[in-house]
Chains A and B, each alone.
Chain A
Amino acid sequence: YDLGGKFDKSFNEAAYNGAEEWKKETGGSFLDLELQNDAQREQALRRFAGQGANPIVMAGFSWTAALTTVAAEFPDTNFVVIDTVVDAPNVQSIVFDEHTGSFLVGALAALKSETGTVAFVGGMDVPLIHKFYCGYAQGAKAVNPDVKLIESYTGTTPAAWNDPVTAGELTKAAIDGGADVVFAAAGGSGLGVLQAAKDAGKFSIGVDSNQNYLQPGSVLTSMLKRVDVAVKTALTEAADDATFKPGLTVLGLGEEGVGYALDDNNASLITDDMKAKVDELSAEIQAGTLTVHDYTTDSTCPL
């Protein structure tokens, strides 16, 4: 897990849930570990590999350097890394098309908005979060070219991922600024966004896991990033060299790696028209007729 901690209600927790599910289905067992600091990454990998763990699944973009080193030392162990790319024969890199998923929720947000203003609250101003924002913004613009966007970030220290109070204030500020839908891509801080939107009677959008249930009736939808599925599949496939797929795996809309969440909690919030429009966009993206720019390819976001 990344430094945010195992139970962050979104990214890391999804990975954990995936592993748990795999354990339930297959009866296998897994070792897991939370880190205190960066230096422990290599140590942890070596330790697990040394203990014969196979495969080893890592979640988080910070694993690149450690994995590059350790993968070479343990050629017989299969590694799966999520959110970054490590080029080695025994590593499967899984990345998600967060930008397309975000595009869809952006479109939903703009469709839902009555004020024509939608907002985004990120954890820290890092590339991955920008990728979310950039997709979100493009999606919103796609359905409403005049949409106004408010972009903000909770902080600059690791506390940014665990600061629901500031996130809540940012949400209130955005709502005061006219926004009526707020997308939270801020790890644990996101809970503050959902709460503040609920308190103000506005809408929020969850991230990574399905967070619709957290504030039913207020969470418009959640941008799904199926880390749980990825972890589960990886654990299943990579356990066996025969099915292990080294190299890059991109999970996008087509693979259902990303998407938006629709369940009982938000069924009443999303009209059939909205759903139809978004599904149409989704189809276009998958067909390649609509391209969504990926911020991380060149660190720019053309809007």
Chain B
Amino acid sequence: MSARRPIPRWADIALLPAINLLLAFLVSGLVVLLVGENPFHAIQVIIYGAFGYGEGLGYTLYYATNFIFTGLAVAVAAQAGLFNIGGDGQAYVAGLGAVVVALALDQTHWLIAMPLAVIAAGAVGGFWAFVPGWLQAKRGSHVVITTIMFNFIAAALMVYMVNRVLKPASTMAPESETIEVAGRVPQLRQFFSFFGYSPVNLSIVIAVLALIGVYILVWHTKFGYAMRVLGANPTASRYAGISNSKMIMITMTISGALAGMVAINEVMGVQNRLVLDFVAGAGFVGIAVALMGRNHPIGILLAALLFGALYQGGQELQFVIPGITREMIVVIQALVILFTGAMEGLFRPSLERAFMLFSPEQKADAIAVSTAKSES
């Protein structure tokens, strides 16, 4: 064995993921082939559907908005060494905060309703994560268990709230009253007709702000520093005078509040009312997004866009190629996660070797090594 030379940075962050993505599509292509459809056409459709026209792009961005929020939620907790699986539940209950404020203020103006709803949704979502955080900090209860449990509790709570409390008695559908136009978050198409009928709305601005905010929080504030110390080495953080218990509680709260922003996008931006299960698993996608994005805002942005594109492209695929069902889209998404996330190391060794052969000084090295080897 020889001294491993790391591959150049550009190859690491661009080439390798690209190769992996290609592989994911290739394997997906086989699945498409299995149902007798043309895989190249399918990929074309996905890409066109996700980015090719305004409305498609709008949908991609709309999905990505959710994934940015849940991805950030997972990432912020992960920075402090906490694994928050509860994004789904936190986003779900945050819907209560959003819808209550929106319904109360839908006679005013969205400029009033939206900030207050953001606070309310953040507070409710934050609370839903604070409790597991508190239990972890004070009682040592593992957040992984408690957040899973809180997802289920949230689901039960919301079925009750929607059906027994928020639903007007006379309607059939399990949903809250509709928010008046003044209380809704404006959709981007109101400003740019380019986006067609897509539901992407001003929540995406909050998402971008959240990305920047998290970046600053984690890498440019004392709090973020403390958070990272805790995540990397809890003993060192006590040594550094950081209160681990407070950090855990605050970090979980921030994480839950971020997940709670999904409610703004869905409840105030798209559905205009609270419906059952509006989160639709975005919290779990957030785990994949955060992991693939290496818990870094830029990575999360890219991963969220990728998943948004897969969602929207997959939908397009269903329209265009009727033989392809929604399950196949899930399969394709899973393959993308598998190859670009879990198996990202697949090509690293060959790539390292390739670079070794192509760079002259390293080439000399490689030869020296191999001759040395054959001598022994």
Do the two chains touch directly in the complex (Cβ atoms below 8 Å apart)? yes
B178 and A297 contacting across the interface, CB-CB below 8 Å:
no
Given A36-B326, A127-B167, are A61 and B318 also a contact pair (CB < 8 Å)?
A: no
Given A39-B199, A40-B315, A125-B163, are A157 and B170 also a contact pair (CB < 8 Å)?
A: no
Bound CA span A38–B267, Å: 11
Question: Among the listed A38, A43, A47, A65, which residue makes an inter-chain contact with B178, where contact means beta carbons less than 8 Å apart?
Answer: A65
Residues of A within 8 A of B169 (CB): 298-299
Given A34-B326, A124-B159, A158-B277, are A61 and B173 also a contact pair (CB < 8 Å)?
A: yes
Q: Residue B272 at the A interface, CB < 8 A?
A: yes
Bound CA span A131–B174, Å: 13
B167 and A65 contacting across the interface, CB-CB below 8 Å:
no
A36 and B271 contacting across the interface, CB-CB below 8 Å:
no
Residues of A within 8 A of B59 (CB): 39, 43
Bound CA span A32–B319, Å: 9
Residues of B within 8 A of A36 (CB): 280, 311, 314-315, 326, 329
Question: Among the listed A40, A42, A84, A156, which residue makes an inter-chain contact with B173, where contact means beta carbons less than 8 Å apart?
Answer: A84
Question: Among the listed A64, A83, A84, A125, which residue makes an inter-chain contact with B159, where contact means beta carbons less than 8 Å apart?
Answer: A125
A39 and B270 contacting across the interface, CB-CB below 8 Å:
yes
A84 and B152 contacting across the interface, CB-CB below 8 Å:
no
B318 and A38 contacting across the interface, CB-CB below 8 Å:
no
Cβ contacts B194-209/A at 8 Å (1 or 0 each): 0001110000000000
Q: Residue A286 at the B interface, CB < 8 A?
A: no
Q: Residue B184 at the A interface, CB < 8 A?
A: no
Cβ contacts A268-295/B at 8 Å (1 or 0 each): 0000000000000000000000000000
Residues of B within 8 A of A40 (CB): 315
Residues of A within 8 A of B273 (CB): 65
Q: Residue B13 at the A interface, CB < 8 A?
A: no
B155 and A47 contacting across the interface, CB-CB below 8 Å:
no
Bound CA span A158–B151, Å: 13
Interface residues in A136-170 by Cβ distance below 8 A to B read 155-158
Q: Residue B156 at the A interface, CB < 8 A?
A: yes
Q: Residue A128 at the B interface, CB < 8 A?
A: yes
List the B residue with the shortest CB-CB distance to A41. Answer: B271
Interface residues in B274-303 by Cβ distance below 8 A to A read 275-278, 280
B326 and A127 contacting across the interface, CB-CB below 8 Å:
no
Residues of A within 8 A of B175 (CB): 62
B172 and A127 contacting across the interface, CB-CB below 8 Å:
yes
Interface residues in A27-46 by Cβ distance below 8 A to B read 31-40, 42-44, 46
Interface size on B, residues (CB 8 A): 41
A298 and B329 contacting across the interface, CB-CB below 8 Å:
no
Q: Residue B38 at the A interface, CB < 8 A?
A: no
Q: Residue B62 at the A interface, CB < 8 A?
A: yes
Q: Residue A126 at the B interface, CB < 8 A?
A: yes
Q: Residue A265 at the B interface, CB < 8 A?
A: no
Residues of A within 8 A of B158 (CB): 156
Q: Residue A296 at the B interface, CB < 8 A?
A: yes
A156 and B272 contacting across the interface, CB-CB below 8 Å:
no
Q: Residue B325 at the A interface, CB < 8 A?
A: yes
Cβ contacts A34-70/B at 8 Å (1 or 0 each): 1111111011101100000000000001101100000
Q: Residue B360 at the A interface, CB < 8 A?
A: no
Bound CA span A33–B280, Å: 18
B172 and A128 contacting across the interface, CB-CB below 8 Å:
yes
Given A36-B326, A127-B163, are A46 and B197 also a contact pair (CB < 8 Å)?
A: yes
CB distance from A58 to the nearest CB of B (A): 13
A296 and B159 contacting across the interface, CB-CB below 8 Å:
no
A127 and B173 contacting across the interface, CB-CB below 8 Å:
yes
B170 and A298 contacting across the interface, CB-CB below 8 Å:
yes
Interface residues in A1-38 by Cβ distance below 8 A to B read 31-38
CB distance from A152 to the nearest CB of B (A): 14
Question: Among the listed B156, B159, B280, B329, which residue makes an inter-chain contact with A38, where contact means beta carbons less than 8 Å apart?
Answer: B280
Given A125-B163, A126-B276, A158-B277, are A33 and B319 also a contact pair (CB < 8 Å)?
A: yes
Residues of B within 8 A of A65 (CB): 178, 271-273
Cβ contacts B250-277/A at 8 Å (1 or 0 each): 0000000000000000100011110111
Residues of A within 8 A of B173 (CB): 61-62, 64, 84, 127
Given A36-B326, A126-B163, are A157 and B172 also a contact pair (CB < 8 Å)?
A: no
8 pairs, CB–CB < 8 Å, chain A vs chain B: A33-B318, A33-B319, A34-B325, A36-B311, A38-B280, A61-B173, A62-B175, A155-B155
> Could you tell me which B residues sit within 8 Å of A by CB distance?
59, 62-63, 152, 155-156, 158-160, 163, 167, 169-175, 178, 197-199, 266, 270-273, 275-278, 280, 311, 314-315, 318-319, 322, 325-326, 329
Given contacts A127-B171, A155-B155, A299-B169, 9 further A-B contacts (CB under 8 A): A47-B319, A62-B173, A64-B173, A65-B272, A84-B172, A126-B159, A128-B172, A156-B159, A157-B277
